[in-house]
Structure 1
Amino acid sequence: MQSANLPLPNAVLRFIQGALSMSDDQAGWVFTSYLAASAITLPIAQWLAGRHGLKVVYQAAIAIFVLGLLLTTLATTPLAFVGARIVQGAASGVLAPLSMGIALETLAPARRGKFGAVLTAIVLLGIASGPSIGGWVGEYYGWRSIFYISLPLSAFIFLVVNRLLQEKKAEKSPPFDFFGFGTFTLGMIGLQMLLDRGERLDWFASPEIWLEALACALGLYLFVVHVLTAKVHFVSKGLLKDRNFVLSTLIFFALGFVLLSTMALTSPMLDELLGFPPIMTGSLTIPRGVGLVGAFILMGRVREGLDHRAFVAAGVALVIYANWRMLGYSPLMDWRSVAVAGALQGAGLGVLMPSLGKVAFSTLDPKLRPEGTGFFNLTRVYGSTLGVAVVQLFFFNSTQAMHLALASHLTAYRAAAHSVTASMSLPALAGLNEMITGQAALIAIIDQFKILMWAMLLVSPLVIFLRKPVPTN
């Protein structure tokens, strides 16, 4: 439920924009606001549970999540809708790690070892199925109804937890590095706001952008100094000393950069530019989900003794190849091109994620694994939120540049263009401008797929420097 609600509005984004008078650059906030809020609350979930009680915190998170769902259905302005998504995301950042903690405590010890892979597959299934669910429901019942889906499920979870889960609270308040967490969060949120708001406010011509840039620089500077000088901090130095963990985390960040950015680009392209109905737009995310979950399940059957570095390399190569195929998208293509590229990318991600996790933790001190797991997953979340922000930013710049380039050919000095445009009415000229804008936007989207391909190409050499995994007990 938590992961499906992230991309749920993807297939009906056009209707949300129309109903709320939301501009194209604000549409990106639908995803980045949810992700950024989730990234803020995710690291403190365990601390909150230890201090106030697991059951209380979990039920509070469900209640806040439901509040966010209701606020999205009541929103009448872009700001109200984004605010509701922030409420949803903040609650989801707590629900994700605590759900895993509750499940691990409930399961028998013999079954806990494989549950991490099962949970990851479920999360991926949610991300992959969210747009198709949203597209189907939005097509027949309107876009607001997509947020009602989770209400009965949330109520059921709340009642089950209230009746069956025993309260658990730490005997003493667990320590937490609030200074390190605060400075890191300040830096990342400053960067997020800088990317999201820069284009709208004409970058450094605006005092707000200067303030956000200073917050980003100050936060990250203080965090780095804190990590290098303090004995106890938000990120253990032991994690940074393990080569496999560091390199795998960088690749995982790039994977997050590609994972949701592709969905944020593909659905608007199909819906707004190519005219696919929402139900079809949502359905075309299914091949990607099938490839992802299918490959992930197959990787679970791989023999433990094999060197997973080869699978990391294969997964990276497959994702790069899938993004290269996306560079061939055109207004004349049918659904098959999108389905094939999506299935290949999904298969690459499904191979890469589990193998990368095994390589990352195979050489890490077992004492550092709980902290490493949290940080490892946090980098994927930040990769996703920054990835969506970056591709949205370059998309608008590329669209404007391509519109200018295409429109420059419609001048009085070109006889064919002049003979047509000279006799056209204003509505016809507006239609011509809309057609040029659509062509420019499609070219710009393809350019963003190129950025995503380069993101994976840049981290691909890191695979060479991974050490052969040596499992630790």
Structure 2
Amino acid sequence: MSTTVPSTGAAGDHRAISAAALIAIYMQAVNISIPNAALPHIQATLSMANDEVGWVFSSYIAASAVTMSITQWLAGRYGRKAVYQAALAIFTFGLVLDTLATTSIQFVLARILQGAASGPLAPLSLAILLEVTPARHARMSLASTVCSLLGISTGPAIGGWLSEYYGWASIFYVSLPMTAFIFMTMASLLSEKRAERSQPFDFFGLTTFSVGMIGLQMLLDRGERLEWFASTEIWAEAVASVLGFYLFSVHVLTTREHFLRTALFRDRNLVLSTVISFALGFVLLPTLALTSPMLEELLNYPVDTTGYMTIPRGVALVGALVLTSLVPGQVDYRPFLMGGMALVVYANWLMLGYSPAMDWRPVVEAGMLQGAGLGMLLPALARAAFGTLDPKLRPEGGALINLSRLYGSTIGIAVVQLFFYANTQAVHVALAKHLTPFRVAAHGAGPIGKPSLAALNGMVTHQAATVAVIDQFEILMFAMLVVIPLVFFLRKPRPAG
């Protein structure tokens, strides 16, 4: 039961609310990836080390995942409109703090605040869309997904162009007019809605699960810098992660009600789709996190050009998503899952052929193929997950799928960053072990000085970094390859009606 303040119900009001909700979904998503192409400028200004770059993305996503989990409880307890406007206000404050940061730690903390505020925006916006357009649920759900993917896909292009011509702070200022429009529209037109009786929420389960995930995230992010278990901090993070997951597992097995109900895990399709969704997230954002630095630092492309080169991937992703969504429900979704996975694997296999001598074409071609594969996967995966699930469990099932994709992205970014720097060092040692003044002089026209030797070492470092980046695309390829067999264990969806 809920209480709702009466609204005018005018069609114009509903259109304005729908537009504001879709813009909010786009804004929440675009702020995940908008720093991507602008990273060189951000690093230079904030003296951010290379191994801290992943925090720009993972801090935002991890904070968003935590608050997204409690959105339904917050809206029921304090009111949908109140939570929505509070999230917008905090999000705006986080945007301002991003621009005022003078150190990498300040910037990451601002991103955590911004991400935490963004968590409720997408699920509440979707709920509002479905409420004001009751006759067009399928169309509105598709529109919200398209807006989210457009945000992630266009973020690097927008961020690269703005940072190149107006400074990196402008990539956050661009969201301020959107937050103002959304806030004023919802304040004037959206009716309040809250539950008459506050439902209990499993804070212990969410806390222990979050501690386990955040501890694992920090361990992967900080381990290489702190020499792993030679550091007290790494030990603390490892203990926190193990303890968090242990307490969560015991809690799930010994209590009847928790924030992820046991009934969800009795549906085979949902469980398998959750695993596939994790792999999808593992590929979706880490590819962007690898491609832009490769183009900018190794191939010397300007940041705006780097951003533009991500656009074909986004266009292919959204186009394939829309076309696959139009396939009638009677058609078996499993061939689309297999086709999408095959395209992603093939695209990542093409990325293994990248080299310093290539032009822009291989990057665009591989990106388009990967985007098309991911676009096929998303709607087919939704049909797989919810086709056999009890309709009463679908809201929680959707939350589980979203969490798995978000945490897949954060873990994926951490893993590729970790292996990138470890592989760079290993390849550098292998290539440079014979690079000594005496050995180089023996093969040259005469003695070689320290400046020339340093230049040679720079060339070796460049080659090592290139090899390391390509190796990470191989990791992403295998992440998708290993989940392909799961498709054969999916059941066909129940017939409609």
TM-score interval, normalised by the smaller of the two chains: over 0.9
What amino acid does structure 2 have at the position aligned with 1:100?
L
Q: Which moved more, 1:225-234 or 1:395-404?
A: 225-234
Q: Structure 1 residue 365 and structure 2 residue 390: aligned? A: yes
Contact 1:410–1:417 under 8 Å retained in 2: no
Q: State the match for 2:458 in structure 1.
A: 434
What is the percent sequence identity of the aligned residues? 63
Q: Deviations over 1:174-215 (max 9, x none)?
A: 221111111111110111111111111111111111111111
Q: Structure 1 residue 85 and structure 2 residue 115: aligned? A: no
Q: How does 1:78-117 map to 2 (within 5 A)?
A: 78-107=104-133, 109-117=134-142
Distance 1:416 1:340, change over 3 A: farther
Q: Structure 1 residue 65 and structure 2 residue 115: aligned? A: no
Q: State the match for 2:248 in structure 1.
A: 223
For residues 348 and 187 of structure 1, the distance between their equivalents in structure 2, rounded to whole angstroms, comes to 31
Q: Secondary structure at the match of 2:436?
A: coil
Q: Secondary structure at the match of 2:31?
A: coil
Q: State the match for 1:303 in structure 2.
A: 328
Q: Residue 45 of structure 1 is aligned with which of 65, 71, 77? A: 71
Q: 1:412: how far off?
A: 5.4
Q: Structure 1 residue 187 and structure 2 residue 212: aligned? A: yes
Q: How does 1:388-407 map to 2 (within 5 A)?
A: 388-407=413-432
User: What RMSD over aligned residues (CA atoms) do the two structures have, in Å?
Assistant: 1.4
Q: State the match for 2:408 in structure 1.
A: 383
Q: Structure 1 residue 127 and structure 2 residue 127: aligned? A: no
Q: How does 1:113-262 map to 2 (within 5 A)?
A: 113-262=138-287
For residues 230 and 465 of structure 1, the distance between their equivalents in structure 2, rounded to whole angstroms, comes to 29
For residues 84 and 431 of structure 1, the distance between their equivalents in structure 2, rounded to whole angstroms, comes to 38
Q: 1:413: how far off?
A: 6.5
Q: Structure 1 residue 264 and structure 2 residue 298: aligned? A: no
What amino acid does structure 2 have at the position aligned with 1:211?
A
What amino acid does structure 2 have at the position aligned with 1:89?
G
Q: Please list every run of 5 or more consecutive structure 2 residues that lacks an aligned counterpart in the other structure.
A: 1-26
Q: How does 1:461-472 map to 2 (within 5 A)?
A: 461-471=485-495
For residues 128 and 103 of structure 1, the distance between their equivalents in structure 2, rounded to whole angstroms, comes to 22
Q: Secondary structure at the match of 1:169?
A: strand
For residues 252 and 270 of structure 2, the distance between their equivalents in structure 1, rounded to whole angstroms, comes to 17
Q: Deviations over 1:376-425 (max 9, x none)?
A: 11100000011001100010100111111111132357456753794234
Q: Residue 12 of structure 1 is aligned with which of 33, 38, 47? A: 38
Q: 1:345: how far off?
A: 0.1
What amino acid does structure 1 have at the position aligned with 2:112?
I
Q: 1:119: how far off?
A: 0.9
Q: Residue 319 of structure 1 is aligned with which of 344, 355, 358? A: 344
Q: State the match for 2:6 in structure 1.
A: none
For residues 111 and 67 of structure 2, the distance between their equivalents in structure 1, rounded to whole angstroms, comes to 14
For residues 453 and 63 of structure 2, the distance between their equivalents in structure 1, rounded to whole angstroms, comes to 43
What amino acid does structure 1 have at the position aligned with 2:351?
M
Contact 2:441–2:447 under 8 Å retained in 1: no
What amino acid does structure 2 have at the position aligned with 1:456?
M
Q: Please list every run of 5 or more consecutive structure 1 residues that lacks an aligned counterpart in the other structure.
A: none
Contact 1:64–1:87 under 8 Å retained in 2: yes
Contact 2:424–2:467 under 8 Å retained in 1: yes
Contact 2:437–2:453 under 8 Å retained in 1: no
For residues 450 and 389 of structure 2, the distance between their equivalents in structure 1, rounded to whole angstroms, comes to 69
Q: Residue 481 of structure 2 is aligned with which of 438, 452, 457? A: 457
For residues 373 and 46 of structure 2, the distance between their equivalents in structure 1, rounded to whole angstroms, comes to 37
For residues 279 and 463 of structure 2, the distance between their equivalents in structure 1, rounded to whole angstroms, comes to 29
Q: Secondary structure at the match of 1:76?
A: coil
Contact 1:412–1:418 under 8 Å retained in 2: no
What amino acid does structure 2 have at the position aligned with 1:21?
S
Q: Secondary structure at the match of 1:2?
A: helix
